[in-house]
Structure 1
Amino acid sequence: MRIRRVGAYALLLDCGEDEPDVPGRVEAWRAELARRRDRGELDAIEIVPAAATVLLDGVPDPAATARSIAGWTPRPAPVRGTAGVVEVPVTYDGADLPAVAEHWGASVPAVVERLAGTEFRVAFCGFAPGFPYLTGLPAALALPRLPTPRARVPAGSVALAGPYAGIYPTASPGGWLLVGRTGLVLFDVAADPPARLTPGTRVRLAPA
């Protein structure tokens, strides 16, 4: 793991794009940094995970903080039961379900069963406000994006691309493979926090 200075008051933890289990390493560091901040051991305004990095923003003394972090070891995520898991009700009728089944060498019901039975975790949010990138599927099931993105994907669409599952919080263009839809509101500027699914949240895409 490398720590790099970003601007005057930020640090970037690079977990290594080619390292084993990068999503797990990013989540472990995100959780460790959040714990340290809650205990007053870390002074940072924002902790922002991404695909292979964690950004610390609003750090008053980046050099001293980097030295401290270099001596920390993130704890593995605890194994928990169903408490704290957010169930997202999904109607599995997406236009690309047959294509996903073909890629996976499975039937459409088997694809639905796999998705419904997987415990996902929000790795990070991006692309659009409140769009959660969900990890949990085996790397062998990674999927290509559409060769030509759709001009409009409806809000609430549940989709797959690469190693991730995701849910479109608002209508937008998109090239992910659509497997279903949910009526759950994922982003509300009046809520605190505005995003319904934040990094670290455990998620099940439960059949509606």
Structure 2
Amino acid sequence: MDTIIFDDELSEITVKRLISLFSEAYDSGFKELRLMMTSTGESISDALKIYNYIKSVPIVICVHNLGTVSHLSNLLFLSGKVRSAAPHTLFCFGPLELNIRKYQKYSLNYLQFLWQKMDQDFQWIINTYQSSSIGSQEVDWVVSHIQRCIVDAEKAMKLSYIDRIYDCNIESDTILARYVNFFPKVTPLMHF
């Protein structure tokens, strides 16, 4: 089984890299792929793009939370057919937010359009959480997505969000790892 380790935020660049790695694994004949992740996500479009892509790939994706899966990165986590987490991990949920630029003018029609779009996205996300539960247990807790909440691995197991808790050892469990966060974080030079 090929393994991808994803320790970055969901962004246009990382989603393109993930799609490239999934396509490469499929082209290489892999039937199963493991995605070990810890991630944040704020971009609705990037989260929806990777979720829909993974759901369409004819490979069994096993997703494992290594640390914290936060906000819209939960959609990436939910795209896995098999979902697991280490005992110490967290799943963080929060409201959808719209960042509006300071001193920017928007018409009432445009703001109403944005509100409708956010409401549609929110309903889609709620439906995705509900339809992606592993067991038959109710997942009304998803509605708390409107408010901020943190779910640990034990609670995630009780809520049928994951199907297994185990502590994996990346070195011994990983035959071939491909790291998604291939761009080093660089501190810009200060010019005087």
Q: Same fold (TM over 0.5)?
A: no
> What is the TM-score of this pair, normalised by structure 2?
0.24
Larger strand share, 1 or 2: 1
Larger helix share, 1 or 2: 2
Higher relative contact order (CA 8 A, sep 6+): 2
> What is the TM-score of this pair, normalised by structure 1?
0.23
